[in-house]
Amino acid sequence: MSDEIEVSLNRKAYEKLNWAKKKDESFSDVVVRLVSTKLDGLQRRGEKEILTSDEKKLELRIDQSRCMGAESCVALAPEVFALDESSLGTGRRSEEPLAMREVMDKTVASETIIRAAQSCPYKAIFVRDLETGEEIFPE
């Protein structure tokens, strides 16, 4: 009996796996690696560069000390932001409740990211246009 199992994927899942695949890595290796880092979990904290679907190169930065877990950014851009609820409140496990997911190039519109940042009542998300150097939010 073989250790291999055949699995079918939709095109979007295949493209994401292919995008995450490192040189000389099998798809099985990719799945194991991603699951071990919580594929749907928190991927990045701090700063991140994103190439948007409308060809803008944005830098996002989170001021973790300001984040109080309103989750408006997560509601508007769940493909970009994630919240670790166990990092909120008095029993915080971490000082970094808000994180950014790994985002494939050209999959999220700049307007979505900007609206998500603007929705934060604590002004914890900063957006800068890397090509012009302009601070988009806050202005």
Taking only the tens place, the pLDDT of each residue in 4-48 is 888 898 998 899 888 888 889 988 888 877 665 543 444 445 688
Same domain, 33 and 54: no
Percent of residues in the chain assigned helix, strand, coil, to nearest 5? 25, 20, 55
| Residues of the domain holding 62 | 47-137
**CB of 84 within 8 A of CB of 139?**
no
Q: How many domains does the chain have?
A: 2
Same domain, 82 and 33: no
Terminal alpha carbon distance of the chain? 62
**CB of 98 within 8 A of CB of 73?**
yes
Same domain, 33 and 82: no
| Per-residue pLDDT reduced to its tens digit, 118-128 | 999 999 999 99
Same domain, 67 and 13: no
Res. 83: pLDDT tops 90: no
Q: What pLDDT was estimated at residue 136?
A: 96
Tell me, yes or no, whether 2 lies in a domain. no
The H or E element that residue 76 is part of is: helix 72-76
The pTM assigned to this predicted structure is 0.67
Same domain, 58 and 75: yes
Same domain, 56 and 83: yes
